[in-house]
Amino acid sequence: MQIFLDTANLQEISKGIEGGCISGVTTNPTIISKENKPLQKCIRDISALDPDLTILVEVVSLEAKDMINEARQLSRLANNIIVKIPMTSQGLASVRILSQENIRTAVTLVFSCNQAIAASCAGADYIAPFVGRLDDINADGLNLIKSIKKVFTIQNAGTKIISASIRTPQSVAELFISGSDIVTVPGNILQAMYKHPLTDSGLQKFSEDWCKVPKEL
């Protein structure tokens, strides 16, 4: 079970690392566009915070041969890169070649069980279904994760599920219960996951009572 942060923002990532429970970062072209610096610098800066972090970086080419070249370059940017490839026939053709070169891939923009099956058969190490974007259009993102997990378990597929596009803290636990291997969350959802009013009031009471304990001289 792993939690990733869905951001390229260094402050958010530092806060997440300090919080102790994130082991990776996911990016996409939209996320990178918010940081106002070149992609390569974004990735190197993130890796400098913690070289063990898994970092997902997305190709922007659309043709297989260009995606493959781009993926080779991206994979050399830092220690622990997974290249995100879009869920298209050209994308899956690239995944096949990249897996033979031991470049790890995550097929992104997955919205159906058949897309997940196709990506896994092509050799994807990970797939990233966008749970929130399905919920946004009144479809059932959680149910998609359940179906994919069922197929991957029955078929003993090695591809791991990264649930992405997360909108609420509550959905994180539901996604893990449904078999997600990784959930990637925005910074605000990670912070909300730590919170419970009973933790705060319980801690306050412990502190108050501790003051009443006589201290050794």
Catalytic residues: 84
Q: How many residues make contact with ligand E4P (CB under 6 A)? A: 11
169 binds ligand E4P (CB under 6 A): no
* Min separation Cβ 164 and ligand E4P, Å: 3
* Min separation Cβ 162 and ligand E4P, Å: 7
128 binds ligand E4P (CB under 6 A): yes
26 binds ligand E4P (CB under 6 A): yes
Residue 49 three-state SS? helix
Residue tagged 């990733």 (tokens) = 4
Tell me the DSSP string of 61-93: --SHHHHHHHHHHHHTSSTTEEEEEESSHHHHH
Nearer to ligand E4P (CB atom), residue 148 or residue 197: 148
Per CB under 6 A, which region of 92-100, 130-138, 141-149, 209-217 contacts ligand E4P? Answer: 130-138
Question: What is the C-alpha to C-alpha distance for residues 20 and 194, in angstroms, rounded to an integer?
Answer: 11
Question: What is the C-alpha to C-alpha distance for residues 158 and 120, in angstroms, rounded to an integer?
Answer: 8
Residue from the set 6, 50, 125, 135 that interacts with ligand E4P by CB under 6 A: 6
Residue from the set 7, 9, 28, 94 that interacts with ligand E4P by CB under 6 A: 28
The torsion angle over the Cα atoms of residues 140, 105, 155 and 131, rounded to 10 degrees, is -10
* Min separation Cβ 212 and ligand E4P, Å: 48
Residue from the set 123, 132, 169, 179 that interacts with ligand E4P by CB under 6 A: 132
Question: What is the C-alpha to C-alpha distance for residues 145 and 139, in angstroms, rounded to an integer?
Answer: 12
**Positions in 42-101 near ligand E4P (CB under 6 A):** none
164 binds ligand E4P (CB under 6 A): yes
Which of 57, 55, 124, 63 lies closest to 95, judged by CA? 124
Q: What is the DSSP letter of 140?
A: -
180 binds ligand E4P (CB under 6 A): no
Question: What is the C-alpha to C-alpha distance for residues 84 and 63, in angstroms, rounded to an integer?
Answer: 14
Query: What are the backbone angles phi and psi of residue 102, rounded to the nearest 5°?
Result: 60, 30
* Min separation Cβ 36 and ligand E4P, Å: 18
List contacts with ligand E4P (CB under 6 A): 6, 26, 28, 108, 128, 130, 132-133, 164-165, 184
